[in-house]
């Protein structure tokens, strides 16, 4: 998943990519939680903000950023909006940790100005789900992949039609007592369609298994027969009920 010439800065370091427009959906009721929701490859924050605005969750403020436009190895270097680079969707493909760290830091920064009494969460679809799940592991460990401290205090994470990046190295980072305590208590919801032709169902299933086997005791995996790489009302109803319950939303 390495980047090619035009995206590499001096000294072999990757050039910084500029994030796109952020769309915010204000809560219609009392503000109790803020969730950053991340779109999939080639999409933008606007399309998801329009869907999230229709959900019966009046106490949630939604922040829907747009990923940078960057060359994508999967597309032969053709640029697309993406949270990180993807070489190919296989279990043995290397993870773009630098790109994941940059995306996770951008998300944490979006949450950094929220009031102290507001519960914070992450969610996303496809590559956005992968970024949210990666951010969850950063929260558990208390630091990004590069070792810098992770600042946000997460109360819930949702991943639709996605996968868990860096799953093979997750176990090696779970040694600390604090990490184990956070992993045991952080609510995570994974949803995946059995007919997904883009991110295969087994990716979601194995991601869920990786979380469970590493002490994420509060993770839930929901599967949907016949669902492809998109969302349906039934799935969003599941998300609404789960968020209301896990975040303790009232009113």
Q: What is the pLDDT of residues 17-62, one digit of tens each?
A: 899 999 999 999 999 999 999 999 999 999 999 999 999 999 999 9
Residue 16's pLDDT band, with cuts at 50, 70 and 90, is: confident
Report field, pTM of the whole predicted structure over 0.85: yes
Q: What is the mean pLDDT of residues 126-142?
A: 96
Residue 12 clears pLDDT 50, i.e. is over it: no
Q: What is the mean pLDDT of residues 95-108?
A: 96
Active site residue 126: yes
Among candidate residues 31, 80, 212, 229, the one labeled active-site is: 229
Residue 88 clears pLDDT 60, i.e. is over it: yes
Q: What HEC string does the chain produce? A: CCCCHHHECHHHCECCCCCCCCEEECCCCCCCEEEEEECCCCCCHHHHHHHHCCCCCCCEEEEECCCCEEEEHHHCCEEEECCCCCCCCCCCCCCCHHHHHHHHHHHHHHHCCCCCCCEEEEEEECHHHHHHHHHHHHHHHCECCCCCECCCCEEEEEEECCCCCCHHHCHHHCCCHHHHHHHHHCCEEEEEECCCCCCCHHHHHHHHHHHHHCCCCCEEEEEECCCCCCCCHHHHHHHHHHHHHHCCCCC
Q: What is the mean pLDDT of residues 170-181?
A: 81
Active site residue 229: yes
Among candidate residues 85, 96, 101, 196, the one labeled active-site is: 196
Among candidate residues 126, 132, 207, 208, the one labeled active-site is: 126
């Amino acid at each position: 998943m390495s980047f090619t010439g035009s995206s590499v800065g001096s000294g072999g370091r990757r050039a910084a990519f500029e994030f796109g427009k952020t769309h915010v959906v204000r809560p219609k009721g009392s503000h109790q939680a803020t969730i950053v929701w991340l779109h999939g490859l080639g999409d933008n924050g606007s399309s998801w903000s329009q869907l999230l605005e229709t959900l019966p969750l009046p106490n949630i403020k939604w922040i829907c950023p747009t990923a940078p436009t960057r060359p994508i190895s999967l597309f032969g270097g053709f640029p697309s909006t993406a949270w990180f680079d993807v070489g190919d969707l296989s279990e043995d493909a290397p993870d773009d940790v630098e790109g994941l760290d940059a995306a996770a830091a951008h998300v944490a920064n979006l949450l950094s100005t929220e009031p102290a009494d507001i519960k914070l969460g992450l969610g996303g679809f496809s590559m956005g789900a992968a970024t949210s799940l990666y951010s969850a592991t950063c929260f558990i460990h208390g630091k990004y992949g590069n070792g810098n401290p992770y600042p946000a205090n997460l109360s819930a994470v949702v991943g639709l039609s996605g996968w868990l990046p860096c799953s093979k190295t997750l176990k090696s980072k779970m040694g600390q007592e604090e990490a184990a305590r956070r992993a045991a208590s952080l609510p995570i919801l994974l949803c995946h369609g059995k007919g997904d032709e883009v991110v295969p169902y087994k990716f979601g299933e194995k991601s869920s298994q990786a979380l469970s086997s590493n002490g994420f005791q509060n993770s839930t995996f929901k599967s949907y027969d016949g669902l492809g790489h998109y969302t349906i009302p039934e799935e969003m109803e599941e998300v609404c009920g789960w968020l209301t319950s896990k975040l303790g939303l009232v009113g």
